[in-house]
Structure 1
Amino acid sequence: MEALGAIDSTADGSTKRFRAKRDAILAAAAQAINEQSAKGMTFADVARRVGLNTTSVTYYFKRKEDLAAACFDYTLEQLQAMLDEALIEPTPQARVARYLALNMDRLARIQRGEATSFAVLSDLRAMEEPVLGRLMNGWRDVFRKTRSLWGIGQTRAHTDLYGARAHVLLENTFWLPIWLGRYDPDQYARVEDRLMAVFAHGIAADGAAWTPALLDLAPAEAEPGREAFLLAATRLINELGYRGASVQKIASQLNVTKGSFYHHLDAKDDLVIACYKRSLATITKAQRLADAESGDHWHRLSSAIATLLDFQFSDRGPLMRTTALSGVAPGVRSALVARSNRIARRYAGMMSDGIAEGSIRAIDPLVAAQALMALQNAAFDMRKWASTMPRDRAIAFYASTLAFGLFDDRVLSL
């Protein structure tokens, strides 16, 4: 499949027009995927966005799946290009700083109308074979290249730790468009500096230890079977996206009929909302239990983080990924995102109190809170990685990426 802009550049006007129109279609399709998911994107919507009719779009891409795949290919290519540029830098910290700067510059250009967004990869797993296999290979190449920002691991433990760092870095740059819009473009440079400070030095004050308490998140199940139902649905939606996780697939996962689905919920939108509310309630419970802990605010914050990572890595998990909300009605989505923002502000409040008492580094708590939201939101994707080591080690490795920063190896001695 040709990458965006890979068509031979010649003096022939028709070739230039073809390429320009194809690029416009890809940009419009990426916007549609980000708003509605790859499954929800339609040729009619893409055509409307670029001022064409549907037949004109099919001239460039015969099937909707071809168009979605081309969008994902472009995203992977852009990530590879940014990583290649970052890898020129001489040290891990300089490479991460360069990669972050390239992402911030891209988002600033989008804000100024000089560039268009590329498609987020949350729906990639919902693609069908054989395209799925090729795209997943491309994603694994991106992950390995990101991990190489820290060099070659001297031991298996180093490789495991670098893998955690790569995942948290990637997820934070994917998360940026979710919250960066709260800042004016002239503040982007400041945000970049504050986020890089968290990456470089972490949240905990100098000398802080990693001794969190795992808090009891056991649910008080109101309806027999409902927790298991929501758990299975959350896993499938996280893996396949809102539209990729059909009612039939969810029912099959539980070995029940579709009729049993409608015993629990009236419609699929109700299912996504129920799953997301379950996740938000779990996070809020962890925060409240952490607030009730004795000790300083770093101990309380680290206990909340460790508890939620334990949940994500265990059979009780996962939490619903925010990207699953792309298929929900805008009004409902706004209400759920608002609740998610309150959770982020609660983290910021815990950090502000910790900064005042000296147990947390003097960081920007609002920026650091969003970094934590990205970490906990995506941890479920690392469950296979976590299963290769003791749970407490997996939690410590993954949490250390923001607790102590992306370049501190003290966690290797735990």
Structure 2
Amino acid sequence: MSGEQTAEGEQDRGTVRFRLKRDAILAAAAEAINEQSAKGMTFADVARRVGLNTTSVTYYFKRKEDLAAAAFEHTLDYLLVMLDAAMEEPTPTDRVRRYLALNMARLDRIRRGEERPMAVLSDLRAMEEPARDRLLAGWREVFRRTRALWGKATSRAAKDLYGARAHVLLENTFWLPVWLPRYAPEQYDRVQARLFDILAHGIAGADAAWAPKLLDLNHDEREPGRAAFLLAATRLINELGYRGASVQRIASQLNVTKGSFYHHLDAKDELVIACYRRSFDTITAAQRLADEAGGTHWQRLSSAIATLLDVQFAERAPLLRTTALSGLPIDVRTAMVDRSNLVARRYAGTIMDGIAEGSCRAVDALIASQTLMALQNAAFDMRKWAGTMPRNRAISLYASTLLFGLFDDRSAAGRD
């Protein structure tokens, strides 16, 4: 072998080593982001996870923001690869089935230790420029290609409907890692089949009509000042994530001092916990009022969901997004997920009773309840979309994605 060939071989091996080490750092960064958020991630923690010192990490990424942006770009690229693979299928139904299968296979590999998790995208809006614009453009491309799974929209109404379907599909795949660990890996095929059945055909029974009653969730606050802080914090955390919504920003939203903040709450973690509790209390109140109103269990379910979508789209007192989970201590995060599961189980009970009386389809109620949690949680992000049409139409379109299915041929407009 000539000296030139030897040099080329050494260069190739060096390039491979560089790529492998960089990939390992990105995987470690993704884990840190998922546990602590992008702003909470540190070079020292990432270095520890890959067995390097901090200086070695900075050789690959000069700033922490560069590392976080690269981790997010890896996630976006991964999503685009899966969507491109799904688009190879001939019909919308086959494409969505393939996309779900790819996500389930990825989570199975992660569960078995054969692949590392990718970074959740909750902190995109909290990133600094110019990375923020680039990442948000990447997210818009992911959304556009997801919407394309249903084909070319030939009208504004079709574009609105496909947009709602795309958002609900994406959010349900993002929500999967939260509840899927409750199942053994050998059950994943069954979970996938049951989940796709819900996505494809919905929850409503054959004769179920869309006629929800919006429930009155208004109630007097015992501490109006504290409630105002919770609402301002919820809006900012939904927009910027846990770390992006600083105490100073929350206080500025209300035109008060940081001292006023600490008059109502002792610490920022306490604030997020209080926001979650308020959100869960709101959902529970909608479920309780729907039960008190009576009617079929389909009527109760659809009224509760419609009421909560109205809350999210109105933005007066939105529910806190799960984006804040990654910034919380693990014990607090676990407690919040446990509370979420309690709320989901109440939905499951309503669905089970609806199945028994014939007003709901025979579906896996536990899985269906988790899809509804993802639906109502993510609706806040669609408030601008909802603002382009009458509120009742936005609610019916968005709810139709799970209540009637992602491929329902009946006119969603007819359910306004």
TM-score category (smaller protein) = over 0.9
Alignment of 1:199 with 2:199, yes or no, is yes
Aligned AA (1:119): A
User: 2:390 is matched with which residue?
Assistant: 390
Structure 2 CA distance, aligned partners of 1:94 and 1:9?
44
Counterpart CA distance in 2 for 1:270 and 1:9 is 56
CA distance in 2, matches of 1:291, 1:394: 24
Residue 207 of structure 1 and its aligned partner are, at CA, apart by 2.1
Is 1:253 aligned with 2:253?
yes
Query: What is the letter of the counterpart of residue 361 of structure 1?
Result: R
* Count of aligned residue pairs for this structure pair: 407
Partner of 2:371: 371
Kindly provide the amino acid, as one letter, of the partner of residue 59 in structure 1: Y
CA shift digits 1:102-132 (9 cap, x unpaired): 0001111111111111100011111011110
2:290 corresponding residue in structure 1: 290
Which structure 2 segments of 5+ residues have no match?
Answer: 1-7
Which deviations, in whole Å up to 9, do the C-alpha atoms of 1:227-256 show, x marking residues without a partner?
A: 222111001011111111101111111111
1:128 aligns with 2:122: no
Find the counterpart in structure 2 of residue 412 from structure 1.
Answer: 413
Paired AA for residue 13 in structure 1: R
Aligned residue in 2 for 1:65:
65
- What residue is the counterpart of 2:109 in the other structure? 109
Aligned alpha-carbon RMSD (Å): 1.3
- For residues 311-330 of structure 1, the aligned pairs below 5 Å read 311-330=311-330
State how far apart, in whole Å, the 2-side matches of 1:244 and 1:40 are.
Answer: 10
Aligned-pair CA distance for 1:358: 0.6
Structure 2: how far apart are the matches of 1:337 and 1:69? 27
Residue 3 of structure 2: aligned partner:
none
Question: Taking structure 1 as reference, are residues 10 and 151 closer, same or farther at Cα in structure 2, changes over 3 Å only?
Answer: farther
In 2, Cα distance between the equivalents of 1:19 and 1:152?
Answer: 38
Helix, strand or coil: the match of 1:225?
helix
Query: Using a 3 Å threshold, how does the CA distance of structure 1 residues 118 and 354 change in structure 2: closer, same or farther?
Result: same
The share of aligned pairs that are identical, in percent, is 74
- Who is 1:341 aligned against? 341
SS in 2 for 1:12: helix
Name the SS of the counterpart of 1:255 in structure 2. Answer: coil
Task: Name the residue aligned to 1:184.
Answer: 184
Provide the rounded CA distance (Å) in 2 between the counterparts of 1:403 and 1:51: 48
* Aligned equivalents of 1:234, 1:10: Cα separation in 2: 54
Secondary structure in 2 matching 1:395: helix
2:56 counterpart residue number: 56
Match of 1:281, as an amino acid?
A: D
Scaled by the length of structure 2, the TM-score of the pair is 0.96
Question: Counterpart in 2 of 1:37?
Answer: 37
Mapped contact 2:199–2:405 kept (Cα < 8 A): yes
Q: Render the CA deviation track for 1:364-410: whole Å, top value 9, x for unaligned.
A: 00110110111011110000000000000000000000000001142
Measured in 2, the distance between the counterparts of 1:308 and 1:42 equals 37
Distance 1:9 1:345, change over 3 A: farther
Aligned CA distance change for structure 1 residues 350 and 24 (closer, same or farther; 3 Å): same
The residue matched to 1:399 in structure 2 has which SS? helix
User: Paired residue for 2:156?
Assistant: 156
Question: Residues 184-235 of structure 1, C-alpha deviation per residue, up to 9 Å, x if partnerless?
Answer: 1010010000000001100001121100110111122101232222111001
For structure 1, the 5+ residue unaligned runs are 1-7
Is the 8 Å Cα contact of residues 39 and 243 (structure 2) preserved in structure 1?
A: yes
Q: Do the aligned partners of 1:10 and 1:16 also contact (CA within 8 Å) in 2?
A: no
Normalised to the residue count of structure 1, the TM-score between the two structures is 0.96
CA–CA distance in structure 2, aligned partners of residues 356 and 44 of structure 1: 55
Q: 1:409 to 1:47 in 2, by over 3 A?
A: same
Distance in 2 (alpha carbons) for counterparts of 1:297 and 1:58: 57
Equivalence for 1:3: none
1:46 positional shift: 0.4
Q: How many angstroms does 1:9 deviate by?
A: 11
* Mapped partners of 1:231, 1:92: distance in 2: 39
- Partner SS for 1:89: coil
Match of 1:5 in 2: none
After TM superposition, give the deviation of residue 15 of structure 1 in Å: 1.2
- Describe the superposition over 1:334-387 as per-residue Cα deviations: whole angstroms up to 9, x where unpaired: 222211110011111111111111100000001101101110111100000000
Give, as a single letter, the amino acid of the residue that structure 1 aligns with 2:188: Y
What SS is found at the alignment partner of 1:220? coil
Deviations 1:38-78 (A, max 9, x none): 00000000000000111110010000000000000000001
Distance 1:175 1:389 in 2: 27
Are residue 362 (structure 1) and residue 362 (structure 2) matched? yes
Distance (Å, rounded) in 2 between the aligned partners of 1:11 and 1:248: 50
Aligned to 1:4: none
Q: Is residue 310 from structure 1 mapped to residue 310 from structure 2 by the alignment? A: yes
Shift of 1:11: 6.5
Does the 8 Å CA contact 1:9/1:16 hold for their aligned counterparts? no
Which string of whole-angstrom CA distances, capped at 9 and with x for unpartnered residues, describes residues 269-304 of structure 1?
111111111101000101111111221100000011
CA distance in 2, matches of 1:184, 1:126: 35
Q: Pick closer, same or farther for the CA change 1:171–1:9 going to 2, 3 Å.
A: farther
What code does the residue aligned with 1:380 have?
F
| Residue aligning to 2:401 | 401
Hey, which bits of structure 1, 4+ residues long, moved more than 4 A? 8-11
Superposed CA offset, 1:6-30 (max 9, x none): xx99972211111111100000000
Secondary structure (helix, strand or coil) at the match of 2:227 reads helix
Q: Aligned residue for 1:263?
A: 263
CA 1:352–1:15: 2 relative to 1, 3 Å: same
Which amino acid letter does the alignment assign opposite residue 115 of structure 2?
A
Distance (whole Å) between structure 2 residues aligned to residue 87 and residue 130 of structure 1: 31
Aligned AA for 1:141?
E
Deviation at 1:146, TM superposition (A): 0.4
Deviations 1:298-342 (A, max 9, x none): 000001100000000113231011230222222222222211110
1:305–1:56 CA distance, 2 compared to 1 (3 A) = same
Amino acid at match of 1:22: R
